[in-house]
Amino acid sequence: MLSFDAVIVGAGPAGSTAALCLARAGARVALVDRRAFPRDKACGDLVGPRGVRLLEEFGIEVAEARRVGDMIVVGPSGRRALLPALPGADYPDHALAVSRLVFDRALFEAAVAAGACPVRDLFVGLTGDPLTPGGVQLAAGGELRADVVVGADGATSRVATAAGLVDARRALWGFALRGYVDAPVDLPHILLWEPEPWRLFPGYGWIFPTADGGANVGLGLAVGPDRLLARQAGERFDDFCGYLHRQGLLPAVRRGSVPLLGGWLKMGLIGTLPARGTVLLTGDAAGLVNPLQGEGIAQAMASGRAAANAILAGRPDGAAACYRESLRTFTAHHRINAPVQRGIVRHPGSVSVAGRVLTAPLVRSAVGGAWGLYWNDLVRGALPGPHRAVAAGTTRLASALALRPGRSRRT
């Protein structure tokens, strides 16, 4: 049986980053994925500023990526607010638009070039008790032995289930669909859309520029623990394209003519324990998606690196505690905003009002900078100034509301 220091299941941004960091440090690492690369993945294809910074740190240049800066939020009344892209102390003033075919392959190839051993197979179970070093069973019948197993197999992680680390009934689920349309778009637009007056869609839609000059159009919603609600994304997609057309953001598209790909998002770390014994969960497997706006690539990469560092730091059975501790910094935003997100979904009428207020003239120019920092989890590391002051104040207020006794127990 082949034996490794670590087996990583899933070669998306989380798994490939973990494999890259481990292999560069000289560890013996297997990188298992059921798919061959390049492989597609439903996504808005925007890698946020923290992800861009990690790429720079790793020395990975992604060909065919396009820089995008400011973002527009279209409020429920159709008014637009500009969220300026502000540089931070530890992140740049832009994101990258790049297809997941290209982006995930670049990370995967970097990990393999660093020495990770690629294995194309389906993970079906752990070989033993997750508390002690064991390994993984693969569908083709083989087993890989390892001191540590890293679950990087996405939102519906089988590693998390096999290790008993997730309660899927409690998790904060989201679902989103995306399609590509051959239409130019200058800036990324997020749309707070009302299919019926004063009844906000319980998520948001987007139209983002793609690296090749087209548009990535998507619609996503928070469904909480009730995953059946996800069908609303498909039922409403054509209506949403009609709305984009009326907003002047998209040419008319025939109903049902845009090929769609969907995917689950697991947000806010709810219902998931990120590590125990010799099993560590990273990225979507750990539920690290931003509960406010659905970003998960940067968190996947950061958690992949944190898992690698925890494994390299000492004994395999100490890695879980070390990893959980390191996650605390970048999950603070999640702990605050998971309850905020639940509130948003439960009170669409109030959110319609808030969306109108925030995108109203005068208000929008006053809050746009802070809104961008808060919504995109960029307050930590933001440069001093009025935008950071307002965003930090909002964080304190949301924290006081979200983490008050009783509320924190329920979430």
Residue among 278 and 352 whose Cβ is closer to ligand FAD: 278
Residue among 58 and 352 whose Cβ is closer to ligand FAD: 58
**Which residues touch 65 (CB under 8 Å, ≥6 apart)?**
47, 96, 97, 98, 102, 103, 211
Strands 203-209 and 189-191: antiparallel
Residue among 24 and 39 whose Cβ is closer to ligand FAD: 39
Q: How far apart are CA 41 and CA 379, in angstroms?
A: 29
Rg of the chain taking only CA atoms, in angstroms: 21
Least distance (Å) from ligand FAD to the CB of residue 229? 15
On the 0-12 / 13-18 / 19+ scale of CB atoms within 10 A, 305 is buried
CA atoms within 13 A on the CB side of 123: 30
Q: How far apart are CA 238 and CA 291, in angstroms?
A: 25
Residue among 57 and 350 whose Cβ is closer to ligand FAD: 57
Instruction: Tell me the backbone φ, ψ of residue 204, rounded to 5 degrees.
Output: -155, 165
Give yes or no for residue 112 binding ligand FAD (CB under 6 A). Answer: no
Residue among 117 and 122 whose Cβ is closer to ligand FAD: 122
Give yes or no for residue 123 binding ligand FAD (CB under 6 A). Answer: yes
Residue from 230, 295, 359, 368 touching ligand FAD (CB under 6 A): that is 295
Least distance (Å) from ligand FAD to the CB of residue 325? 20
The stretch near ligand FAD (CB under 6 A) out of 37-45, 59-67, 306-314, 391-399 is: 37-45
Residue among 228 and 362 whose Cβ is closer to ligand FAD: 228
Give yes or no for residue 307 binding ligand FAD (CB under 6 A). Answer: no
Sites for ligand FAD among residues 162-191 (CB under 6 A): 176, 178
Contact map string, positions 125 to 154, toward ligand FAD, x by CB under 6 A: ---------------------------xxx
Give yes or no for residue 14 binding ligand FAD (CB under 6 A). Answer: yes
Contact map string, positions 255 to 274, toward ligand FAD, x by CB under 6 A: --------x-x---------
Q: Of 288, 263, 70, give the one whose Cα is nearest residue 179.
A: 263
SS3 366: helix
Give yes or no for residue 377 binding ligand FAD (CB under 6 A). Answer: no
Query: CA separation (Å) from 236 to 205, 259, 271, 309, 381?
Result: 10, 14, 28, 43, 37
Q: How far apart are CA 343 and CA 365, in angstroms?
A: 25
Residue among 14 and 320 whose Cβ is closer to ligand FAD: 14
Least distance (Å) from ligand FAD to the CB of residue 284? 4
The stretch near ligand FAD (CB under 6 A) out of 42-50, 353-361, 376-384, 392-400 is: 42-50
Give yes or no for residue 15 binding ligand FAD (CB under 6 A). Answer: yes
Query: CA separation (Å) from 179 to 70, 187, 231, 262, 371?
Result: 22, 17, 16, 9, 27
Residue among 42 and 379 whose Cβ is closer to ligand FAD: 42
Give yes or no for residue 111 binding ligand FAD (CB under 6 A). Answer: no
What DSSP line would sit under 129-161, residue for residue?
A: -TTS-EEEEETTS-EEEEEEEEE-S-TT-HHHH
Q: 345-384 burial string, b = 16+ CB within 10 Å, else e? A: beebeebbebbbebbeeeebeebbbbbbbbbbbbbbbbee
Give yes or no for residue 287 binding ligand FAD (CB under 6 A). Answer: no
Q: How far apart are CA 294 and CA 274, in angstroms?
A: 19
Binding-residue total with ligand FAD (CB under 6 A)? 40
Least distance (Å) from ligand FAD to the CB of residue 237? 11
- Closest residue by beta carbon to ligand FAD: 296
Residues in the site for ligand FAD, rule: CB under 6 A? 9-15, 32-35, 41-46, 48, 122-123, 152-154, 158, 176, 178, 218, 220, 263, 265, 283-285, 289, 294-298, 300
